Amino acid sequence: MLYIHQTSCISSQQTFENTDLEEVHEAVNNKLLAIEPVYENIPPSMLRRMGKAVRISIGAAIPLLRGLVAPDGIIIGSGNGGMEDCIKFLNQIIDFDEGMLTPGHFVQSTANAMASQISLLTRNNSYNMTHVHLGLAFENALLDALMQNMENPSATFLVGGVDEISSSNYNIEFQDGWYKKEPLSNKDLYTSQSAGSLAGEGTAMFLVSGSPRNALARFKSVFLLHTNDQQAVSTQLRKFISDKLGEDEVDLLLSGENGDDRLTPVYTACESIFGPHTTIARYKHMTGEFPTGTAIASWLGCQFLQGHPIPGHMIKRKGRSEQLENMLIYNNYKGKQHSFVLLSKV
């Protein structure tokens, strides 16, 4: 069990500093781009060399580490890493005929650039790990922190998930049918009857430990599943809930439904497990679809467990429960990778 002490989020909505979840910013060309803040804690000479994934991850992480003795580990999940810088470096190889290449794009393009840059800026020499598992990258980072915590309950870890929209990766995913081909407002995402979703990007960071003192919420459990079988997903979800709580003890289901009509039946089947006690809410009209979207869903969960009202535009079905004690995040990435993240009040 991991207790969450601080959180930070940079996304396509107003989630950094002056949080406003009621207003929904519109997608541009079917992309929900992260709203970047002023990076006061990053030296300008370093900032201009950084790719977006590195910038936003550092921008979200540094405020959590102010005044803190160095955390015992930095654990980041990323589905694609700094793909944009990777493509720039590969293009340079062609443009310069494998001649004198600038190393900046290469250094920033590796998947572990985010965790390593945070470590360098904070002079942290402790455990440093990056998990690159596409739609389960953030969940594996959480599992890593949970296992580390079992060995050393007093340790503190920075755990996060981050991904960017790169032009190359967007084009590949678009051609593969994972993004909408027709122009669509994100406010109409759940009424669309077509394949694909909207592209998203962002990051969420969590300062966690095994101590409940001054905690905001807690990650109670995480479960990962690889399958194309809809029945297997609903069966495992039912078992997961019965092992950890009970069907009537889940006050909020935060669903990763993303407007892709190929995946909607799986989300519907999972929703049917929960009775009228449970509120069902959705979030991808705010964030778009990207591998580590569960990180932002977890940040939203922390807000709601602390008493922040759930915006009406997120609610799919209002439940009977007036108090949020336990909430479950269910996410499905490309119909193959499934995760259940259980968050609870302290």
Q: Last residue of a domain, which of 151, 183, 209?
A: 209
Same domain, 48 and 110: yes
Q: What angle do CA 241, 246, 249 make, to 5 degrees?
A: 110
How many domains does one find in the chain?
A: 2
CA 93/CA 85 separation, integer angstroms? 13
pLDDT tens, residue by residue, 26-75: 999 999 999 999 998 888 888 887 888 999 999 999 999 987 778 999 99
Is 214 within 8 Å of 302 (Cβ atoms)?
no
Going by pLDDT thresholds of 50, 70 and 90, the confidence category of residue 87 is low
Q: In this structure, are 172 and 254 located in the same domain?
A: no
Report which of 309, 341, 296, 310 is spatially closest to residue 145, judged by C-alpha positions.
Answer: 341
Query: Rounded to whole angstroms, how far apart are CA atoms 304 and 310?
Result: 6
Top-confidence residue, 83 or 142: 142
pLDDT category at 167 given cuts 50, 70, 90 is confident
Residues 56 and 181 reside in one and the same domain:
yes
**Domain-ending residue, one of 167, 186, 209:** 209
Amino acid (one-letter) located at 167: S
Least-confidence region, from 13-27, 104-118, 216-230, 291-305: 104-118
**DSSP label at residue 308:** P
Confidence class of residue 168 from pLDDT cuts 50, 70 and 90? confident
Boundary (domain end) residue, out of 158, 176, 209: 209
Same domain, 307 and 227: yes
In order of 78, 151, 223, 275, the CA distances from 145 in angstroms are: 15, 10, 14, 32
What token pair was written down for 146?
């949970």
Most confident of 88-102, 155-169, 256-270: 256-270
181 with 238, same domain?
no
**Mean pLDDT of the 257-262 span:** 96
- Same domain? 43 vs 155: yes
Q: Quick one: 228 and 118 in the same domain?
A: no
Would you say 134 and 161 are in contact if contact means Cβ atoms under 8 Å apart?
no
Residue 173 shares a structural domain with residue 83: yes
Q: What are the tokens at 87?
A: 């493509």
pLDDT at 66: 83
CATH of residue 146's domain is 3.40.47.10
Q: How does pLDDT run across 192-246, given as a tens digit for each residue?
A: 999 999 999 999 999 999 999 999 999 999 999 999 999 999 999 999 999 988 6
Same domain? For 12 and 50 the reply is yes
Provide the residue range defining the domain that includes 96.
2-209
pLDDT category at 88 given cuts 50, 70, 90 is low
Q: Say if residue 20 is in the same domain as residue 51.
A: yes
